[in-house]
Amino acid sequence: MSPSSTWKDYRRKVSGALADQRLREVLGRFAGDYARSREEVFRGVDFSRLRDEVSEIKDRALDDNARLLRRFASEAGKRGAEVILARDAAEAREAILRTARENEVRSAVKSKSMTAEEIALNPALEAAGIKVTETDLGEFLIQLRGEAPSHMVLPAIHLSRFQAAQSFREAGIPGAEGSVENLVRAARRRLRPLFFQADMGITGANFLLASSGAVGVCSNEGNARLCLSLPRVNVILAGLDKLLDGPEDCLPILELLARSATGQRINGYVTWTAGALPAAPADGKRRILKIIILDNGRGALLKDPATRPILRCLRCGACANVCPVYRLVGGHVMGDVYIGAVGLVLSRYLNGSDRSPVLQDNCLACGACREVCPAKCDPLRAILEVRRRGRESGGGSPGLELFSLVLPRRPLFRGLLRLARGLQAPYAFGGGIRHLPLAFARDGGLRSLPALAEKTFSEILPSLELVGAGRISCAVFSGCAHEFVLPGELAAGVRLLSRAGVQVLHPRKQGCCGLPAAALGLEGAARAAARQNVDAFRGVDCDYLTSLCPSCASYMREEYPRFFADDPERLEIWSALSRKIIDFGSLLLREGNLRGELFVRGGERAAYHSPCHLRLGLKAGASHVDLIELAAAYLRTPLENACCGFGGCFSLKFPEESRAMAEEKLADYQRRGAAVVVSDCPGCVMRLRGAAREMGRPLRVEHTAVFLESRLKKTP
């Protein structure tokens, strides 16, 4: 399959998911419910301490993986189990098939195991004439329907009770109509005898405890316990990454796993079992227990420091639950076997490297997954890393290469943008042109984003008549959006600061922060941009460093140190500067000297859009609505924190998804009576404003700086 047809297929899947109104409703409701129950169940729990513990435990176990594996095999062996290390999916399948042949297995029951899906076990068993039944209710349902799971924890979340009941009816399972309870009872009646009849039970595992060769399994339904207890042949299949040392290592994981997965305090059943269970009293045969430990790419992930943290993953699914892309299109589009943010990465490494070359682009880089992950996997970082590698191994397009050449060369960059401005008319589309640096990307579609401004911010700066010296000083990083597209926003911002006696410094040699390059996987260009900016700010004496774009600021703060790992001089300069970073809203609240009486207060209601990179990236913005209240009636809305769908290149690659996200928000704002939407990020402002225009909604969208500055009373 050629990459472009893969890309087309993928886009078609995305469109299909977007058109599924019911799915969107289900996922939207789920996102809201999950956020609420998560908040509830974490009340009084020290999440950050526990997840530090979890990641330390996991790291320790990963460091020690080879020894733990040997110990596990020997302890489990002493207790009558056979441990098999499978290097890849084929070896794992073969080990299970061999076990089945040797023990004359004709039927098997399975409890939920993503690892079994990873190795495509069911088709292999069926091809060998073995009847396999999934016993987890959700898995059972999608097995009946021949579908793939759409969530790691709730595999049938895409189905309604009616669809489920219909599938039962078609499979000849009576009594499933009328209520979810009837459905559940019907499944109980159907599945119970199968546990007794099956020759083989196949189970996944959450923990492999080396000190005792024991296996730990979490479930809510209790099917894993039956699978482990009844059939005479037992297979437990788990990834290498599930090895831990002793039972104490399970505790912080148990504290976080169910809370993160479903907002429950703990899983209904956590079972630990060591060794083959004694034979059933009557049949006298020895019980067989095989534990298959799967590598399938994990060993390589383990050796690579950039991808290793992803092996801490507990498979809780939280990173899907909070992901704005998942919320919109669901799991059939967002991953392969593993779903959600972590799925975008694992689908690449564990399922054979090229099955999903386009998946990683379906991410807004909002950082929500990073925030909730109980094991500090930082899926976003891994996604960006995968993209980078994809480009390096030849996944770039001519546009991208041009981009990477141009970006670090500021005069060339400006020159090209000027040229683009000159050529604006032929490219114009709905009053806008291709967005900035992405204008160079070949597969960037035409979007209704604002056109380049007549004059750049640097060009209008001298005319702003700012105070020459102030009680404090603040260096400003403008960022591409404010430099080239919306310089008026930044001008309004610096005027507000200057009015409060803050001396504004704008080093001339600064350029793009490098985020778009990093997001596209163009590591060299991103590094060059970082160097250039640190050199531009070298020697600037300031109390603060601010940007009116939280995407630039959070990216620079988070990522720049990485580029200077072998450049101690720049690292030192940057560390000192980085400590001074403050987002514009917080700076205004602290130093802006703003009071309500300074503003002309209209009666209009103003809602807030919280940018992901401000809230999650810079961990700021909690009190920014105070700024709104200075000049208007602030209107609290439930979707305030929902992503606008911008995500830089995301909005170009997935225009429909991006638009759907913006539309959902705007519709809600309007329904609740907002006249203006205020936000702190030029990207969000452009996205929401563009969508409002496309949809003909009478909402105004303003950057906080403009919102405030335009409402200042004229001083006599």
Of the candidate residues 55, 206, 273, 651, the single one contacting other proteins (CB under 8 A): 273
162-191 b/e (C-beta count within 10 Å ≥ 16 → b): eebbbbbeeeebeebeeeeebbeebbeebb
| 3-state SS, one letter per residue, for 548-604 | CCHHHHHHHHHHHHHHCCCCHHHHHHHHHHHCCEEEHHHHHHHHCCCCHHHECCCCC
Compute the radius of gyration of the chain from its Cα atoms: 28
81 interacts with ligand SF4 by CB under 6 A? no
359 binds, among other proteins, ligand SF4, none (CB under 5 to 8 A by kind): none
Residue with tokens 């000190």: 211
Q: Which stretch binds other proteins (CB under 8 A): 280-288, 463-471, 567-575, 683-691?
A: 280-288
Asked if 479 contacts 458 with a C-beta cutoff of 8 angstroms, the reply is: no
Residue 188 interacting with other proteins (CB under 8 A): yes
Q: Judged by CB under 6 A, which stretch of 166-174, 336-344, 396-404, 577-585 contacts ligand SF4?
A: 336-344
Q: Check binding of 157 to other proteins (CB under 8 A).
A: yes
What's the min distance (Å) between Cβ of 265 and ligand SF4?
Answer: 17
Which of 87, 189, 471, 590 touches other proteins by CB under 8 A?
A: 189
Does 27 engage in binding with ligand SF4 (CB under 6 A)? Answer: no
Q: In what side-by-side order are the strands of the sheet with 605-609? A: 633-635, 605-609, 676-679, 700-703
Collapsing DSSP to helix, strand or coil, 539 comes out as coil
Q: How far is the CB of 322 from ligand SF4 (least distance, A)?
A: 6
Coil, helix or strand for 404?
A: helix
**Residue among 38, 315, 434, 495 that touches ligand SF4 (CB under 6 A):** 315
Nearer to ligand SF4, 260 or 498 (CB): 260
Applying CB under 6 A, the span of 60-68, 335-343, 478-486, 572-580 interacting with ligand SF4 comes to 335-343
Q: ∠555-558-559 over CA atoms, to 5°?
A: 75
Residue 104 region, left (φ>0) first, then alpha (ψ -120 to 50), else beta?
left
Q: Which of 132, 233, 316, 625 binds ligand SF4 (CB under 6 A)?
A: 316
| Interface region with ligand SF4, contact rule CB under 6 A, candidates 192-200, 268-276, 377-385, 470-478 | 377-385
What does 138 interact with, of ligand SF4, other proteins, none (CB < 5 to 8 A by kind)? other proteins
Compute the distance between CA of residue 707 and CA of residue 357 in angstroms, rounded to an integer. Answer: 42
342 binds ligand SF4 (CB under 6 A): yes
60 binds other proteins (CB under 8 A): no
In angstroms, the CA 612 to CA 610 distance is: 6
Identify the residue among 101, 192, 471, 713 touching other proteins (CB under 8 A). Answer: 192
Residue 374 binds to ligand SF4 (criterion: CB under 6 A): yes
Q: Which residue has the tokens 């590698």?
A: 389
Residue type for position 586: S
- Minimum separation from the CB atom of position 343 to ligand SF4 (A): 8
Rounded-to-integer distance, Cα 124 and Cα 101, Å: 13
Say how many residues touch ligand SF4, by CB under 6 A. Answer: 29
- What angle do helix axes 161-170 and 137-145 make, rounded to 10 degrees? 60
282 touches other proteins by CB under 8 A: yes
CA 61 to chain centre: 25
Site string for other proteins, 25-44 (x = CB under 8 A): -x---x--x-----------
Nearer to other proteins by C-beta: 255 or 702? 255
- Min CB(313)–ligand SF4 separation in Å: 3
What is the DSSP secondary structure assignment for residue 232, as one 8-state letter?
Answer: S
Residue 180 contacts other proteins per CB under 8 A? yes
Name the segment binding other proteins (CB under 8 A); options: 150-158, 382-390, 398-406, 695-703: 150-158
Angle at CA 710, nearest 5°, toward 707 and 711?
Answer: 85
Q: Residue 238 interacts with other proteins (CB under 8 A)?
A: no
Q: With respect to other proteins, which residue has the nearer C-beta, 318 or 652? A: 318
How far is 672 from 606, CA to CA, in rounded Å?
11
Contact status, residue 570 vs residue 578, Cβ threshold 8 Å: no
Q: Does 318 bind ligand SF4 (CB under 6 A)?
A: yes
Write out the DSSP string of 641-701: TS--S-TTHHHHH-HHHHHHHHHHHHHHHHHTT-SEEEES-HHHHHHHHHHHHHHT---EE
- Please identify, using beta-carbon distances, which residue of 18 and 377 lies nearer to ligand SF4: 377
Distances (CA, A) of 697 to 8, 647, 658, 692, 701: 31, 22, 17, 5, 11
Q: Which stretch binds ligand SF4 (CB under 6 A): 120-128, 280-288, 358-366, 481-489?
A: 358-366
* 156 sits near other proteins (criterion: CB under 8 A): yes
Contacted by 375, from other proteins, ligand SF4, none: CB < 5 to 8 Å by type:
ligand SF4
Binding site partner of 212, from other proteins, ligand SF4, none, Cβ cut-off 5-8 A by kind: other proteins
From the CB of 564, what's the least distance to ligand SF4, in Å?
24
* Binding residue (CB under 6 A) for ligand SF4 from 125, 237, 301, 365: 365
C-alpha span between 295 and 596 (Å, rounded): 62
Residues at the interface with ligand SF4 (CB under 6 A):
260, 313-319, 322-325, 340-342, 363-369, 372-375, 377, 379-380
Residues of the shown chain interacting with other proteins in the complex, contacts defined by CB under 8 A = 26, 30, 33, 78-80, 135-138, 141, 154-157, 159-161, 164, 180-181, 183-185, 187-189, 191-193, 196, 209, 211-212, 214, 220-223, 225-226, 228-230, 246-248, 250-251, 254-255, 262, 264-278, 280-282
